[in-house]
Amino acid sequence: MNRTRFRNTVLGIGATAAALAVGYFGVQYFGRNNMFTIAAAVGGAGAISYVLQKPNQPQAPNSEPEAPTAPIKAQRKGKKS
Radius of gyration of the chain (CA): 31
* pTM: predicted TM-score of the whole model, two decimal places: 0.49
Does residue 36 contact residue 26 with C-beta atoms inside 8 Å?
no
Residue boundaries of the structural domains of the chain? 3-52
pLDDT at position 15:
93
Establish how many alpha carbons lie within 13 A of residue 46's alpha carbon, considering only the half-sphere containing its beta carbon: 6
pLDDT band at 59 (very low <50, low <70, confident <90, very high): low
Interval 6-44: pLDDT, tens:
999 999 999 999 998 998 998 899 998 998 998 899 999
